[in-house]
Amino acid sequence: MIPLFSIPNLVKSEFLERPNRFVAQIRYNGKETIAHIHDPGRLNELLHPQVELLMVKGTAKLPWYLKAVKSKLGEWVLIDSALHNKISRAVFPLIEQFKHIKEIRSEVPLGKSRIDFMMDGVPLEVKGVSLIKEDGNAYFPDAPTERGTRHVKEIIEHKGMLLFLIFHKAKSFGPNVEMDPKFAKALSNARKQNVPIICAQIHFDGETVYYNGEVLLDDF
């Protein structure tokens, strides 16, 4: 594994419930409080009562900000989508398709969307994957995503690339057909049209974020 960067000032807490998409009710030092969740997914497979969390101090709006949750398998899984840009830039030099890129621009308008990166003029969209099923494979999305489907279609149209950051240890990666068949169809079309789909295995030990090679694509 190759270390990318560390996340400082982390403290542990306990998950209680998720009253809405952006807020978690938690217990810290024996007292109940709230924390911000910066992840658009449902995270139903991860956020169970009494599960262990890692967080940092929050902003003026909420006292705490969640960074990771401990899975049933004992892995720390990152659930902060604000880290995707930083992680992506850290792994670019380590992945064959990206290591020779000279100009990288972030948040670039493309069609009706904003794409995460423009790599020497080639659009790249990044998605974080926190869902793993009993078969040991990683899947995206864990909730229906019209936005994600639109992004994939834009990438196809503009001959771009896709990068999936896999936050669980996984055998392979594929679309979550049962959750979002439209996204699954779009991703399958992207593959048929030879859009590069790169899946990076990201490991977090509770302090440091690591790159652990590429994950194979499943049949889809």
Q: Is the pLDDT of residue 60 over 80?
A: no
Average pLDDT value over all residues in the chain: 95
**What pLDDT, on a 0 to 100 scale, did the predictor assign at position 184?**
97
**What pLDDT, on a 0 to 100 scale, did the predictor assign at position 112?**
84
Worst-scoring range by mean pLDDT, 40-44, 62-66, 147-151?
A: 40-44
pLDDT tens-digit series, residues 1-36: 999 999 999 999 999 999 998 999 999 999 999 999
**Residue 192 to residue 186: CA distance in whole angstroms:** 10
- What ranges make up the beta strands (E) of 73-193? 76-78, 104-110, 113-119, 122-129, 131-132, 138-140, 161-166, 172-175
Q: Is the pLDDT of residue 110 over 80?
A: yes
Tokens representing 172 are: 């392979």
**What pLDDT, on a 0 to 100 scale, did the predictor assign at position 113?**
87
Helix (H, G, I), strand (E, B) or coil at 169: coil
**Residue 197 to residue 143: CA distance in whole angstroms:** 20
**Residue 128 to residue 164: CA distance in whole angstroms:** 6
- Averaged pLDDT for residues 156-172: 96
**What pLDDT, on a 0 to 100 scale, did the predictor assign at position 131?**
93
**What pLDDT, on a 0 to 100 scale, did the predictor assign at position 59?**
80
φ and ψ of 16, to 5 deg:
-115, -55
Domains present along the chain, CATH in parentheses: 6-78 (2.40.50.580), 82-217 (3.40.1350.60)
61 band by pLDDT with thresholds 50, 70 and 90: confident
Predicted TM-score (pTM) of this structure: 0.94
Report how far Cα 213 is from the mean position of its chain's Cα atoms.
16
**What pLDDT, on a 0 to 100 scale, did the predictor assign at position 134?**
86
Residue 202: CB partners within 8 Å, gap ≥ 6? 78, 87, 91, 165, 166, 167, 209, 210, 211, 212
Q: Is the pLDDT of residue 155 over 90?
A: yes
